[in-house]
Amino acid sequence: MDKGLQSEGKMIDVQEMIENNKKKTSIGERIEKIIPFFLLLCAGVSVLTTVGILFTLLRESIGFFSEVSIVEFYTGTSWSPWSGKYGIAPLIGGTLLITLIATLVAVPLGLMAAIFLSEYANDKVRRVIKPVLEVLAGIPTVVYGYFALTFITPLFQTFIPDMGIFNALSGGFVVGIMIIPMVASLSEDAMNSVPNALREGAYGLGATKLEVVFKVVLPAALSGIIASIVLAISRAIGETMIVTIAAGATPNLTFNPTESIQTMTAFIVQAATGDTTFGSTIYYSLYAVGMTLFVFTLVMNLIAQYISRKFREEY
Amino acid sequence: MNKVIEEKANINVNQKTRETNGNQEGTVEKTNSIIEVNDLNLWYGSDQALYEVSMDVPQEQVTAIIGPSGCGKSTFLKTLNRMVEMVPIVKTSGSIKYRDQDIFSSKYKQEYLRTKVGMVFQKPNPFPKSVYDNVAYGPRIHGIKKKEVLDQIVEKSLKGAAIWDELKDRLHENAYGLSGGQQQRVCIARALAVEPDVILMDEPTSALDPISTAKVEELVQELKQKYSIIIVTHNMQQAARISDKTAFFLNGELIEFANTDDLFQNPQDKRTEDYITGRFG
Amino acid sequence: MLGQNEQSIKKRMEARVAANKVLMVLFGLATAVGLVFLVLLFYRVLTQGIGYLSLDYILNFPAPYPDKAGIYAGLIGSVFLMIIVATFSVIIGVATAIYLEEYAPQNKFTDFIRVNIQNLAGVPSIVFGLLGLTFFVYMFNFGYTLIAGGLTMALLILPVIVVAAQEAIRSVPAEIKEASYGMGATKWQTIARVILPASIPGILTGAIIALSRAIGETAPLIIVGAATAIYSLPNSLLAKYTVMPIQIYNWTGRPQEEWQYVAGAGIIVLLAVLLLMNSIAVLIRNKYQRRL
């Protein structure tokens, strides 16, 4: 029936076989229709996760605020849940202190590293150093906590002898080390995407590399750099293990970095490891603190996204 | 089932074919048209790319489509097996009939059409699989699983694409390791494996060196014994060398469609003449 | 007049060039700081832990005495946990990526899923712990078990896997997709036979990197109740379990100095596992890059 095959006297006819197989394809067609639904269902898991997070934080927080007034929670300055004092200020203060120290460490170091890698280092150096620097971001935080407690704190104590074992300084410092690669990597990407034509224009006028960096590259990459810093800050706010291990468990509204403090995250760990009964006020307070933490990081992430979206439009 | 279709097609003999028998040894059967295009319009979103194209593609001949870039020739080719619809904003009007069946009809399956109307692309695009798996791809997706059958199909298709001798000992090597010309002939073999009726070729030699190009051109000549071939080319010499009929497209319109010799030696339209004499394009 | 002017220009020029050099050194040093701390960290962990690292340490359960304690329960627990995490997160993550790249219509809901995944990646891990506590531990009533921990961690790394899989799928050349459709393949046939095989190396690399993040995670597992000391291996999905980071955390927190060495040894084991996983990822990536 089909030409060619017959003339060759062939024993197989592919089109005929396809024709015959078509009868079986009704199953295939059904699969073809079911699969997108299955995939959509899987894609829904990420949405459900978000819904689940919002649901649990809101519901348990509302439960908490029915026992402790929301005004007291956000205006009180004493956090001592085991004696019924729920003013979150010391936890927020502790979180901010850690974040501030970490930012002071990571932003200058990360930015300078980004400038070095993007503008000064040759390709070979960059290809070695960038991945090695990124190893810093892959080390488990519990390891950093160990490092802060057993190495950085004793090191700092040799300079500040009356500093305690648990203190904000070494915790914040090590968080800063951990987020260096975030600042460096993302900022370097932003600097790299500055068109070379801009640099060449400045070199043509006799500018030194340094002048090109400060007058051309940094301004052009500014939004990308800021986005990277905001993301790094968000990471520092949510960091848990380093501060739990090294910064202590003393809710303490202070800006003295040598004192022991407690962050929001560290409180959640502390309360979860202690004998917190399901349904108790302390149990609910976990979620109220978690909710506050979530809002902090969400706002940071949204800012970063907003900035980097604007940044993408520039070129 | 196929017989019925063919008979139907016979009733339709030459109804719309504008050309009488050309320079072919031309039996009547040879001038049967296998694809009939009527008043085809095509839009990408709001940009119209094809205007009122009507054309009957003859069976078991080589039809070349020429024209300057952006004239719609590739779009037209991809409309014939509905590959053009991979761009979601495409809209069409008019009709295309393959063996008298409306390919735009909702009952007509794209997948079925494409086993009948195969395609070879501009850039050699083998899968990152072995030569064997590349050629066996089509039969496999259409449910042929027996190894002996697949072995036969692979051998026959590679022979059909004149590359069996070169590759028979390398069947299980990755096709990415082959030269560009070999890759393109594997792609042709892949298209042959489902034994289509029509083979669409979209500038199949534009990415190849002259020697590989010559081999593919030779192959096209052989293939037309069994297949109807439609080949888009930007190379007028190529069209003149290998095709029986040539269509000239300009700005989305079919300007002229004639026997290749006639079109090149005695173009009826001023624009065709300008193009083939190299005044533009 | 002219000479003077030239001289002052020259002077300023020298100053500018000098500033450039000084700052270049400074930038280089700043880059080195991160690397120095990396070296210090490795050095510190090695010198503290190596003395306690032995076959016994790897094969011992936790014990009340530093010289008897081992990481066996944590090591095996981590492996079990990773099997659960990988199963759920890879299946759901890859399916999500396929949906987004190949099926999703361009509409608000699709945009929403995309933005949502991006935002999930920025949620602190401890918040995922709270999610797991509410749903898996209490609502589904799994309690403090392997499955509760595994599901929590699977959700945590899901965004990473989705993004990696999306990139891998996107990098499959359009030409070979066309080739498949041109042969009369259906969408799913094209995905299953062409797109997925071609993107598997990228997906694997991304999945391993995501899992290596999960294997070092501590905070969410503390919240969903991984045990600090267990004396048998988990024998079902609903068994109690511990993982390496939890054991390390527990030892680090003890006041006697010997426990720091025990913790150090645990960190060496953990880092060795991470190194192994990342090496595999790099190997896959290199092999893949050579081929395409």
Asked whether the predicted pLDDT for residue A2 surpasses 50, the reply is no
- Mean per-residue pLDDT for C238-256? 92
Query: What pLDDT does residue C255 have?
Result: 84
Question: Which residues of B touch chain C, with CB atoms under 8 Å apart?
Answer: 81, 83, 86, 110-115, 118-119, 121, 123, 125-129, 137-138, 140-142, 174, 176, 187, 190-191, 194
Query: What pLDDT does residue A311 have?
Result: 64
CB A265 within 8 A of CB A240: yes
Domain boundary among A66, A83, A101: A66
Q: Do C183 and B126 touch (CB under 8 A)?
A: no
Instruction: Give which of B195, B223, B225, B229 to mutate to test A binding, by max A Cβ within 10 Å.
Output: B195
φ and ψ at residue B253, rounded to 5 degrees: -115, 145
Query: Is pLDDT larger for residue B246 or for residue B19?
Result: B246
The residue of chain C with its CA nearest to that of B116 is: C184
| Terminal Cα distance for chain B, rounded | 45
The amino acid occupying position B162 is A
Q: Would an 8 Å CB–CB cutoff place A2 in contact with chain B?
A: yes
Contacting A residues, span 167-196, partner chain C, CB-CB under 8 Å: 177, 180-181, 184
Q: Do C178 and B125 touch (CB under 8 A)?
A: yes
Task: Using alpha carbons, list the distances in angstroms from residue C269 to A133, B163, C67, C220, C248.
Answer: 21, 55, 16, 21, 10
Asked whether the predicted pLDDT for residue B17 surpasses 90, the reply is no
* Sheet strand arrangement including B253-259: B117-120, B198-202, B228-232, B62-66, B245-250, B253-259
Query: What pLDDT does residue B105 have?
Result: 87
Alpha-carbon gap: B273 to the closest alpha carbon of chain C (Å): 34
- Full residue range of the structural domain in which residue A172 is found: 74-314
- The answer as to whether A7 is a domain residue is no
How far apart are the C-alpha atoms of A216 and A194, rounded to whole Å?
9
* Radius of gyration for chain B, computed over Cα atoms and rounded to the nearest angstrom: 19
Asked whether the predicted pLDDT for residue B20 surpasses 50, the reply is no
Q: What is the mean pLDDT of chain B?
A: 86
Residue B20 CA to chain centroid, in angstroms?
22
Task: Using alpha carbons, list the distances in angstroms from residue C157 to C78, C204, C208.
Answer: 15, 14, 11
* Structure confidence by residue, pLDDT tens digits, B94-129: 999 998 889 998 888 888 899 999 999 999 999 999
The residue to which tokens 């971001």 are assigned:
A137
Instruction: Tell me, yes or no, whether A38 and A132 share the same domain.
Output: no
Nearest to C93, CA basis, from C203, C199, C170: C203
Query: What pLDDT does residue A3 have?
Result: 41
Query: What pLDDT does residue C1 have?
Result: 54
Q: What is the mean pLDDT of chain C?
A: 91
Domain boundary among A42, A66, A90: A66
Instruction: Tell me, yes or no, whether A35 and A105 share the same domain.
Output: no
- The answer as to whether A5 is a domain residue is no
Q: Do C126 and A180 touch (CB under 8 A)?
A: no
Instruction: Tell me, yes or no, whether A136 and A263 share the same domain.
Output: yes
Asked whether the predicted pLDDT for residue B10 surpasses 50, the reply is no
Alpha-carbon gap: A269 to the closest alpha carbon of chain C (Å): 7
Alpha-carbon gap: B226 to the closest alpha carbon of chain C (Å): 18
Q: Do C184 and B191 touch (CB under 8 A)?
A: no
Q: Find residue B259's DSSP bridge partners.
A: B245
pLDDT band, very low/low/confident/very high, at B22 (cuts 50, 70, 90): very low
Query: What pLDDT does residue C292 have?
Result: 45
* C241's tokens: 């379990």
Alpha-carbon gap: B254 to the closest alpha carbon of chain A (Å): 30
Instruction: Tell me, yes or no, whether A93 and A127 share the same domain.
Output: yes
- The answer as to whether A206 is a domain residue is yes
CB A67 within 8 A of CB A287: no
How far apart are the C-alpha atoms of B133 and C133, rounded to whole Å?
49
Query: What pLDDT does residue A10 have?
Result: 47
Burial class of residue B98 in the structure, from the number of CB atoms within 10 Å of its CB (0-12 exposed, 13-18 middle, 19+ buried): buried
Asked whether the predicted pLDDT for residue B25 surpasses 60, the reply is no
Q: Do C34 and A180 touch (CB under 8 A)?
A: yes
Nearest to B66, CA basis, from B264, B223, B214: B264
Asked whether the predicted pLDDT for residue B9 surpasses 60, the reply is no
pLDDT band, very low/low/confident/very high, at C4 (cuts 50, 70, 90): confident
* Structure confidence by residue, pLDDT tens digits, B171-203: 999 999 999 999 999 999 999 999 999 999 999
Q: Shortest CB distance from C249 goes to which of A121, A142, A211?
A: A142
Domain boundary among A34, A66, A98: A66
- The answer as to whether A231 is a domain residue is yes
- Mean per-residue pLDDT for C85-102? 96
Instruction: Tell me, yes or no, whether A193 and A239 share the same domain.
Output: yes
Asked whether the predicted pLDDT for residue B5 surpasses 50, the reply is no
Asked whether the predicted pLDDT for residue C284 surpasses 80, the reply is yes
Q: Would an 8 Å CB–CB cutoff place A293 in contact with chain C?
A: yes
Instruction: Tell me, yes or no, whether A126 and A209 share the same domain.
Output: yes
* Structure confidence by residue, pLDDT tens digits, C181-212: 999 999 999 999 999 999 999 999 999 999 99
Q: Do B127 and C292 touch (CB under 8 A)?
A: no
Burial C19-36 (b: 16+ CB within 10 A, else e): ebeebbeebbebbebbbe
Ordered alpha helix ranges (H), C50-145: 55-59, 72-98, 108-120, 125-132
- The answer as to whether A14 is a domain residue is no
Percent of chain A surpassing pLDDT 90: 66
Instruction: Tell me, yes or no, whether A29 and A117 share the same domain.
Output: no
Instruction: Tell me, yes or no, whether A211 and A105 share the same domain.
Output: yes
Query: What pLDDT does residue A206 have?
Result: 86
Q: Do A14 and B195 touch (CB under 8 A)?
A: yes
- Mean per-residue pLDDT for A289-294? 96
Domain containing A133 — which CATH number? Answer: 1.10.3720.10
Burial class of residue A84 in the structure, from the number of CB atoms within 10 Å of its CB (0-12 exposed, 13-18 middle, 19+ buried): exposed
* Structure confidence by residue, pLDDT tens digits, C117-158: 999 999 999 999 999 999 999 999 999 999 999 999 999 999
Q: Find residue B59's DSSP bridge partners.
A: none
- The answer as to whether A12 is a domain residue is no
Instruction: Give which of B80, B117, B119 to mutate to test C binding, by max C Cβ within 10 Å.
Output: B119
Instruction: Tell me, yes or no, whether A197 and A115 share the same domain.
Output: yes
Q: Do B153 and A12 touch (CB under 8 A)?
A: yes
Nearest to B158, CA basis, from B125, B182, B123: B182
Instruction: Give which of B82, B87, B98, B111 to mutate to test C binding, by max C Cβ within 10 Å.
Output: B111
What residues contact residue C210 under an 8 Å CB cut-off, 6+ apart?
A: C89, C157, C160, C161, C164
Instruction: Tell me, yes or no, whether A158 and A198 share the same domain.
Output: yes
Instruction: Tell me, yes or no, whether A26 and A81 share the same domain.
Output: no
* Structure confidence by residue, pLDDT tens digits, C234-245: 888 999 999 999
What kind and span of H or E run contains B230? Answer: strand B228-232
- The answer as to whether A6 is a domain residue is no
Query: Is pLDDT larger for residue B256 or for residue C5?
Result: B256
- The answer as to whether A179 is a domain residue is yes
C111-115, Cβ contacts within 8 angstroms, sequence gap of 24 or more? C112/A47, C113/A43, C113/A46, C113/A47, C115/A305
pLDDT band, very low/low/confident/very high, at A23 (cuts 50, 70, 90): low
Instruction: Tell me, yes or no, whether A269 and A294 share the same domain.
Output: yes
φ and ψ at residue B97, rounded to 5 degrees: -115, 130
Ordered alpha helix ranges (H), A139-250: 141-147, 153-159, 168-192, 196-204, 209-212, 218-238, 241-246
Nearest to B263, CA basis, from A281, A96, B255: B255
pLDDT band, very low/low/confident/very high, at A312 (cuts 50, 70, 90): low
φ and ψ at residue B21, rounded to 5 degrees: -55, 135
- Specify the number of domains making up chain A: 2
Q: What is the ipTM of this complex?
A: 0.91
pTM: 0.87
Neighbours of chain A (3+ CB pairs under 8 A): B, C
